[in-house]
Amino acid sequence: AAGVIQSPRHLIKEKRETATLKCYPIPRHDTVYWYQQGPGQDPQFLISFYEKMQSDKGSIPDRFSAQQFSDYHSELNMSSLELGDSALYFCASSPGTGSSTDTQYFGPGTRLTVL
């Protein structure tokens, strides 16, 4: 079965640079979530999209922005990178049927290292 695809899997950037992470949800899933997992920490919700519109925001810094495109893939744009942005970034997708029991399926993550 198709899974959530994230690219790149690993990314190394310098401080103050920008980074773009991509997420391709499971086909026919119209809701995408982004999470950030710092070293030794649990995943923290950043932002979500439903039907190409921003749905909810969690603890996403103002330096970050994201969008969902017409083909439902999503991109997380990160500017003015800081050392503390080094983390594993997960994308998850769900069917978005409106059911409270919708399961979120996670991608393998993008490991961002800021030097």
Partner 1 sequence: AQSVTQLGSHVSVSEGALVLLRCNYSSSVPPYLFWYVQYPNQGLQLLLKYTSAATLVKGINGFEAEFKKSETSFHLTKPSAHMSDAAEYFCAVTLFMDTGRRALTFGSGTRLQVQP
What residue ranges bind partner 1 (CB under 8 A)? 4, 31, 33, 35, 41-45, 48, 50, 55-56, 58, 90, 92, 94, 100-109, 111
Please, which residue, 1 or 14, has the CB nearer to partner 1?
1
Please, which residue, 85 or 89, has the CB nearer to partner 1?
89
Q: Are 77 and 34 in contact (CB under 8 A)?
A: no
83 DSSP 8-state letter = G
Taking the complex as a whole, the smallest distance from the CB of residue 24 to partner 1 amounts, in Å, to 14
Whole-angstrom Cα distance, residue 23 to residue 97? Answer: 20
Please, which residue, 50 or 65, has the CB nearer to partner 1?
50
